A = this chain, B = another copy of it.
Amino acid sequence: MNKVAIIGVGHTKFGKLEEKNLMDLLCDASLEALNDSNTNDENFDSVYLGAMCPGEFNHLSGIASALVDRLGLIPAAADHLKNGPASGGSAVKAGFHAIASGMNSMVLVVGGEKMTHISTPGYITSAVATLTHHQAERRHGTSLPSLAGLLSRIYLEKYNAKLEWLSDIAIKNHRNGALNPIAHFQKKIEDFMESAVKKGKGNWNTIYEFLSDDNSNPIIADPLRLFHICPISDGAAAIILCNGEIAKKFCDNPVLITGIGQATDTHITYEREDITVLNALRVSSDQAYRMAKKTPKDIDVAELHDAFEILEAVESEDIGFFKKGEGARAAHEGRTEIDGEIPINPSGGLKARGHPLGATGVAQVVELVWQLRGEAGKRQVSDAQTGITCNFGGFGNNIISILVERM
């Protein structure tokens, strides 16, 4: 199997980007990655796009083909991977297969979503809720936030954990996001509190008081409140993959994808033996570790899928960093901070970097590349050599793990 190297990355700012449409965002991220990799004059074999709902949100289809045209890459092959919030990870995996097989030697992978122009957030929640099982879940009103709320209640009770510890994850991720110039929220939760105090909206003695006040942090899906849940964002991220043999021609510090895994779980969440266990992550990360001949102890930095802060806690366990039930406590104890034993989401994660659905799986890889190259600025994890991602599709029924290393 051919080695697969990442030789360039691109990343738009994430956020409410009113002046850009979806195609603009995909082009911006792609052009940045092309420049970053010095491959502007190369022939590209393929473009793989990850996007969840361009049909539903933007009335566009065939956008991978259109993107090839806009970028001047005709006749490169073009495909669009659609795997819910893990569409970006699926696109990276498709690009990996194309190079690993020897069918392609130069591939652009881009993920993106344009969502904030939709005036009714309920439309977005409904579109995303089509990921749940119609008969067993959706027609009873179940949405992804409600499943995350249920998971949180069960987790907190079963493992004797505290809601404040989930808040600690949000606090950490906002603190990291404040160090990330492309994050949706470059602002600590402490700063949100301070602004609210200044505006006379209330007075709180601690950040936990601020975060448990129905006015400053309303309940979305009990017990989860606004600050426990990622925002709706626009944005795109891109990477250039090439055959490892030629990577050093384009780039002094290529990053290799040495492990990649993907696994499914039951569609109906109550059919799982234990909803607090993400079997799809256990299997997919195990595939990635085995392929790369690594263990969780070898990982220097991780980008996990904290669409809801409970997910970062559970994922940090099932990806092998902490024992079952100890993920939330570990975050509370600071073990997942940038200078902790296993830094999680130095980017700010989905909570603060933002979550333009299809972009996230690619953005996670971009952050790891920056970390491994030592280009992560104020949020740099010291001497990061190996990283792993968890990109979470459906409600945990399709999870992708990508393990990267310095070449």
Task: Say which size band chain A's interface belongs to.
Answer: 35 or more
With contacts A53-B55, A56-B55, A97-B94 known, is A64 near B83, CB below 8 A?
A: yes
Which residues of the partner chain B approach A93 to less than 8 Å between Cβ atoms?
77, 79
**B75 contacts A61, C-beta separation under 8 Å:** no
Residues of chain B with a CB closer than 8 A to A75's CB:
263-265, 279-280, 283
A95-130: CB near B (< 8 Å → 1, else 0) gives 001101111000000000000000000000001101
Report A17-63 residues with CB < 8 Å from chain B CB: 46, 52-53, 55-56, 59-62
- Report the copy number of this chain in the oligomer: 2
Decide yes or no: A79 and B69 within 8 Å by CB, A55-B130, A97-B98 being known contacts. Answer: no
Q: Are B1 and A61 in contact (CB under 8 A)?
A: no
Q: For the complex, is A166 an interface residue (Cβ under 8 Å from B)?
A: no
- Quick one: closest B residue to A4, CB to CB? B101
A404 within 8 A of B: no
- A70 contact set on B, CB distance < 8 A: 267
* A232 interfacial contact with B, CB 8 Å: no
Q: Is there an interface contact between A78 and B264, defined as CB atoms closer than 8 Å?
A: yes
User: Which residues on A are within 8 Å of B, measured CB to CB?
Assistant: 1-2, 46, 52-53, 55-56, 59-62, 64-66, 68-70, 73-84, 90, 93-94, 97-98, 100-103, 127-128, 130-131, 133-134, 260, 262-268, 279-280, 283, 393-394, 397-398
